[in-house]
Structure formats: C-alpha cells, structure tokens
Amino acid sequence: MSRHRPDPETMYGALALATRAPSVHNTQPWRWLIGRQSLHLMADWTRQVPVTDPDGHDLLLSCGATLHHARVAFAALGWASRVHRIPNPADTDHLAAIELHPADPSDEDVALAAAIMGRRTDRRRYSSWPVPQGHVDLLVEHAARQGVVAVPVTDPIRRHRLATAMRLAADLQENDPAYSTEMALWSGFGFGATEGVLSASAPAGRQRHGDTPMRTFACGSLPQSTVEPSAVDGGELLVLTTPDDDPVSRLRAGEAASAMLLAATDLGLATCPLSQAVEVPVARSGVHENVLDSAGVPHLVLRVGWAPIAAPALPRSKRRPAEQVTAFLPGAAPCVRRG
C-alpha cells in the first residue's frame, strides 16, 4: 500500500463489497475506472431497463448505492473518500470521482462494512413487532448525512395515499406486455446467476403485505414467512426525498438508501427497497402531492421491519466479479515484476 492510493488487493476487496449494493432488478449498471490518483464511477447505460426505468432514475439510484457501499468499504479498510459527483456534466457516464486518503476507521465504518454481506432484500411479510422510534430516527439521520430527507409515513391517511399510489403503479406496469417481457428477462434466475433477481428471492405471484403491494417477479419460489394470517404486518415505510431531481440528487438518494439499508441491517431489521411508485409518472406525482404535500421530490420507498423469528435465512444473490466491472486507466495499472 502506498501513501497515495490502496494497493490492488485492497482496491479489489473494497470494490467487491461495492458490487454488493442493491440495484434495480439486480442489473448492476455500473463500471469502475482506477486512475493513478483517483477512482471513477461510471454508469453502464447498456444495463438500463428501459420499460421499468425509462428516464434512468433507478439506474442513478443504483449507482448511488454502489458509490456509498464503496465509501463504506474503503473507510473500513483505512481510506477516507472525497467524492466529486458529476465531475464532468458533459459526460453522462461519469458519475463520480473519488480521491482516497489514509484515515483510521471508526467503529461505525467497520459496523456498516460488516453489514454489507449480511444485507438482503426481504420481500416477505414482516412480523407485527413495531420498529422502535429510536431505530427510525437513526435511519432518518443516516439519510440526512447524505443530503437526503427520509420521511417516515406514519399518519394513516398519508400511508393510505402512499399505498394507493403504489397499487396504481403496479397495476399500470403489470398491464403493459413490454414490462412483463422485461421482468421475465431479469428475474426467475437460478442460484448460479450473477445478475438479475433469483427465483428463490421472490415470492410467487402478486403479494400484498398489509396495505403494501409488492412487485411481482417471474417464477418466484420464496416461501412466505410463517406468520399468522391475521397478524398485522409491522413494516414501516419511509420515502426518500430531495429538493431537486437532477443527477446529483438521484445519486445522493441512492447513497442515502445504501446508508439506511446498512444501518437497518446492523440493527437486525429486515429491509426492502420499493421503487414502483416512483417509476410511473402519475403515481410519482401522487406521492409528491398527496404524501409529501409537494415539499420534496420522491426517489424511493424503503420498507423496514422485523422478520419473524422463525423465518428461514434468505439466499445471497451473486454479483459480477469486481474484476469484470473494473478497469485501469492508461498509466494506472500496477507494475508486474518479472522473475
């Protein structure tokens, strides 16, 4: 390891953790370029899902999540990050440039990095146990550190409006044959897949947990949690918002989602990002106007709660190897010593 940047082993180790970030349909729409003094996050627009995400909103959120995962991983390995978001506005691929500086990791850095491998998207019913207010406040604080406001939707009227927008979005998407085709291409995969949604990670058919509709994936085979049918689902819903809807705001929303998901995992909570309501314009407007009182741009809904105590462990979705999504810029590749 030099004073200027991590050695290749450390770099690949951190980026391997960064690839564990959640992304829309597990498309992993990112690339990393390693320079002599900096690291660069690039969008991979060839992995956009144009029916689900026609304007690339989800793609930028996904890239924001991997950016935060990378920051957390490097911090735990002794490298602090200075991030320049959208450093070249003329290049829509270039999302962030990261300068790395040696720094002692904090206990929180280590805890969040450890949560990366334990985080799962849990699409099952949650138990009726309430999420403590202190836990919710901590998640809101983690979002605020990323420049994002996370709004807990606890008022029954606003929650009903949010659920209505989510159901509207699901109905409109699922009645679109092109959407169904796209979902079939990106879900229903076996355990060996390094992209897409595993069959074993999604319940079969259309599901609703309490008032919350869930996205339907092809060939789902995940058994539901063993919860009494009459039990209330205690999942909380938080809407991530920013004042604007530019690329930087979308990146930051993805970073906030990552921060909240890792913090929730560290607390032992089950989590599930829900993006349908922001993918359909009429539903997104409904969230903006009827849930947020037009006070912020909605980017994502996070569902958090307690998994039932007897719930089986969820499978771990694989990711593409870090080497497959990483390249060295000219002059930045490490020298290879010849014997």
Q: What is the pLDDT of residues 121-144, one digit of tens each?
A: 999 999 999 999 999 999 999 999
**Residue 228 pLDDT grade (very low, low, confident, very high; cuts 50, 70, 90):** low
CB 216 within 8 A of CB 206: yes
Segments of the chain assigned to CATH 3.40.109.10: 8-117+318-328, 133-305
Q: Which residues contact 268 (CB under 8 A, 6 or more apart)?
A: 306
Provide Rg for the chain, Cα atoms.
20
- pLDDT tens for residues 232-288? 889 999 999 999 999 999 999 999 999 999 999 999 999 999 999 999 999 999 999
Indicate the CATH number for domain 133-305: 3.40.109.10
Euclidean distance between CA atoms 138 and 318, whole angstroms: 29
Cα–Cα distance for residue pair 170/162, rounded to 1 Å: 12
Is residue 100 within 8 Å of residue 40, measured between CB atoms?
A: no
**Which CATH code of 3.40.1690.10, 3.40.50.1370, 1.10.10.10, 3.40.109.10 fits the domain covering 8-117+318-328?**
3.40.109.10
Report the pLDDT value the prediction gives residue 336, as an integer from 0 to 100: 45
230: confidence class by pLDDT, cuts 50, 70, 90: low
Which residues, at least 6 apart from 176, have a Cβ–Cβ distance to it below 8 Å? 51
Given a contact cutoff of 8 angstroms between Cβ atoms, the answer to whether 29 and 63 are in contact is yes
Percent of the chain with pLDDT over 90: 89
Instruction: Assess whether pLDDT exceeds 50 at residue 1.
Output: no
* Cβ atoms of 52 and 32 closer than 8 Å: no
pLDDT of residue 310: 84
Residue 10 has pLDDT above 60, yes or no: yes
Whole-prediction pTM value? 0.95
User: Tokens 């030099």 label which residue?
Assistant: 2
